[in-house]
Each structure stands twice: as C-alpha cells, then as structure tokens.
C-alpha cells in the first residue's frame, strides 16, 4: 500500500473568475486574484492510497462514498499519465500508476460558514496524489491540474495572496496560479464572513458563468477593460500593503461581477436584501472614516466576506454589529478570520 496526505486552504477571490473560454479545461476569460483563509478548520485534508487490493477508484468525502464526477475522473487520468511517464523513464520506480486509488477527503468547515468545499477539495486531492506519485512538479504546475477540477481550485494550491494568470495557450498549460505574497506579507489583514445563508447556491458557478458569457453585453467590457486594469492595480495594492486601494478594487470588482450576473439573460441573483444591507453598512462606515477601512466581496451566493486591518477590528465589528441589529431579522452569523485565521465570536 502506498499512501500520502496533504491539505489545502479555502480561498476567496477579491478579483473574480467568471467566464470560461474553454469549458472542458476550465480556461477562464480573465485572470483573477484571491486571498486565502488560513484558519485550521478552513482546510480540506486528503489522504490518497494506492493498492492492488482496491477493486476500483473510490472517493470518500467526510466519510461518505461519493460518485466520481467527470472532472474528478479527468484530474485522476492526468495525474496517472504523469506517474506513468515516470515509470516508463525509470524502470526501478514502483509500478503504481495502474493501481486503483482510495481517496479520503475531510473538511470540517463550519456548516454555518456557507463555504463551498470544491476549491480546497480539488487542491488537496491533487496535492495528495502528486505526493503519492512523487511527481516532480511545483505547485504552479500542479495548479494546472487542480484547475481542471474546479477553476478556483488552482488558487488553493497556495496560501496568502494568489493570482490565477489566465494564460493564452489552447492546451491551458499557462493558465495557472502563482503566489503574489505569502500570508506573513500583510500580517494585520483580517477577514470576517457574514453568513447570510448557509444553504447551497441556486445557480451553480459553472452554469451561471456560461449564461453570462452567452448573454451579457456588459461582460465583454468587464473582461476586456476593467479586469485587466484591476489585475495590475490590485496586485500592486497587495504588494504595497495599500489597504485603501485594495479595499476599493475589491468592492468595485464584487459589484461589477454581480452586475454582469444581473445583466445575464435570464438574470442571476446571488445577493439578497441582507447582502445589500451589509454593502450599505460598509460604505456608511467607510464614509465616516473618509477612507475605506473595510471591504466587502460576495461570491456566487449571498454571504459577505469582509476584509479589514486588525487595528480597525473594533470599529468594523461594532459598526457591522449595529447595522446587523438595525436590519429586521438579519439572520447573520459572524465569523472572524485573518487570511491567516477565522473564529466565531
């Protein structure tokens, strides 16, 4: 029996991936940037085993046997092909490429966090099997495989601040993640998840982005003009630890992503009224301070991720706390987090 274990963190995009130029390979229509949530319980951990005793490939997710989806099969086939190359070149390497795999993945994300597990899950799967197969590839090269499982998974191959460079090659080999800076680069950066709804989203990202690509006129403007500019500016803001600019670009991008969703036909709504009250509350707070001290971003769902600097934590939490209690029936659970960590108050 051969065995290896690896884990990967959750990432939240501050410059969103939305749109594929190749659906099969998950090649995006724009580059994106994410900040990694690095609290211990926001990771997926996967153990991969290969043995002649296994009759077929099996995937267990939190102790439940899951069917192997098309994307998982594609990623497994790629990993096996890379191992087979090693075995071909080096006859002394153990012959494990053809052995069946048992993949056991666990994540203990608090259900209340309403976070999708696929990005961290695919990244941990690729990491664990690449260790099992002793692949010589670096994390950026492996991110090309994780990307084929789920686009955003490529960014979970790293911690800290990560860019997914869209690339231009048709085979997707240059569409991969690179680390902009590690978590220690900006130690006072924190994140908070306002959980509006922990249920699964209505329209999956995969189908939502196809509707947008096919029907939204604003989308062309977004991918050709706004995102390329923001990609450069946001990277610089991160490297300069310029919170005001980082916050503004993050909010502008989130707003525009949800605008192209609304511009899709039929329109896609991810944010609800509670999400909108969080947006209002954060702008109100930033207006009071005459500069952004907090930034919101929303993925394909109503939950709000708030970024702020540690020194402003009290101001942000108390203002959001008030805003939360001012909105009738605001069913929000708060979770504090740094790109370094997360906690439930």
* Chain residues that interact with ligand DP6, rule: CB under 6 A: 13, 16-18, 26, 32, 118, 150-152, 205-206, 299-300
Minimal distance, residue 17 CB to ligand DP6, in Å: 3
Minimal distance, residue 155 CB to ligand DP6, in Å: 7
Return d(Cα 182, Cα 35) in angstroms, integer: 10
Nearer to ligand DP6, 186 or 298 (CB): 298
Minimal distance, residue 207 CB to ligand DP6, in Å: 8
- Give buried/exposed letters for 114-138 (b at 16+ CB in 10 A, else e): bbbbbbbbbbbbbbbbbbbbebeee
| Exposure on the CB side of residue 302, measured as CA atoms within 13 A | 22
Nearer to ligand DP6, 46 or 152 (CB): 152
Angle between helix axes 70-89 and 139-149 (nearest 10 degrees) is: 150
Minimal distance, residue 69 CB to ligand DP6, in Å: 11
Return d(Cα 85, Cα 68) in angstroms, integer: 24
Q: Are 246 and 295 in contact (CB under 8 A)?
A: yes
Nearer to ligand DP6, 188 or 206 (CB): 206
Nearer to ligand DP6, 59 or 293 (CB): 59
Nearer to ligand DP6, 211 or 327 (CB): 211
Minimal distance, residue 26 CB to ligand DP6, in Å: 5
Return d(Cα 101, Cα 105) in angstroms, integer: 13
Q: Which of 49, 31, 157 is nearest to 101 (CA)?
A: 49
Token pair recorded at residue 28: 């995006």
Token pair recorded at residue 318: 């108390």
Minimal distance, residue 47 CB to ligand DP6, in Å: 23
Nearer to ligand DP6, 102 or 150 (CB): 150
Token pair recorded at residue 251: 């909010």
Q: Which residues are CB-contacts of 305 (< 8 A; sequence separation ≥ 6)?
A: 12, 191, 192, 193, 194, 296, 297, 298, 299
Minimal distance, residue 299 CB to ligand DP6, in Å: 4
Nearer to ligand DP6, 176 or 319 (CB): 176
**Which residue's CB comes closest to ligand DP6?**
151
Return d(Cα 3, Cα 24) in angstroms, integer: 30
């Amino acid at each position: 029996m051969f065995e290896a274990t690896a884990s990967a963190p959750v990432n939240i995009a501050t410059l969103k991936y939305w749109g594929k130029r190749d659906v099969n390979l998950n090649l995006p229509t724009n580059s994106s940037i994410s900040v990694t949530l690095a609290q211990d319980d926001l990771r997926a951990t996967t153990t991969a085993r290969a043995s002649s005793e296994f009759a077929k490939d099996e995937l267990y997710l939190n102790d439940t046997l899951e069917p192997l989806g098309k994307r998982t099969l594609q990623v497994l086939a790629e990993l096996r092909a890379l191992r087979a190359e090693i075995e071909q070149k080096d006859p002394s390497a153990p012959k494990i490429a053809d052995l069946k795999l048992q993949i056991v993945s666990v994540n203990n994300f608090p259900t209340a966090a309403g976070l999708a597990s696929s990005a961290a899950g695919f990244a941990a799967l690729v990491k664990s099997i690449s260790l099992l197969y002793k692949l010589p590839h670096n994390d950026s090269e492996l991110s090309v495989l994780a990307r084929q499982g789920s686009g955003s998974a490529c960014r979970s191959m790293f911690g800290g601040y990560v860019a997914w460079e869209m690339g231009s090659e048709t085979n997707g080999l240059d569409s991969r993640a690179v680390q902009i800076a590690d978590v220690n680069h900006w130690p006072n950066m924190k994140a908070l998840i306002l959980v509006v709804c922990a249920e699964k989203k209505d329209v999956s990202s995969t189908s939502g982005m196809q509707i947008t690509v096919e029907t939204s006129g604003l989308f062309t403007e977004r991918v050709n003009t706004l995102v390329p500019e923001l990609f450069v500016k946001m990277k610089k803001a991160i490297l300069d630890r310029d919170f005001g600019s980082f916050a503004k670009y993050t909010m502008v991008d989130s707003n525009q992503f949800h605008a192209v969703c609304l511009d899709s036909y039929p329109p896609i709504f991810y944010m609800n009224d509670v999400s909108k009250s969080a947006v209002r509350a954060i702008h109100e707070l930033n207006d009071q301070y005459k500069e952004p001290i907090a930034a919101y971003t929303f993925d394909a769902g109503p939950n709000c991720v708030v970024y702020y600097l540690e020194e402003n934590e009290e101001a942000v939490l108390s203002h959001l706390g008030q805003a939360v209690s001012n909105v009738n029936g605001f069913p929000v659970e708060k979770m504090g987090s740094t790109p370094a960590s997360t906690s439930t108050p």
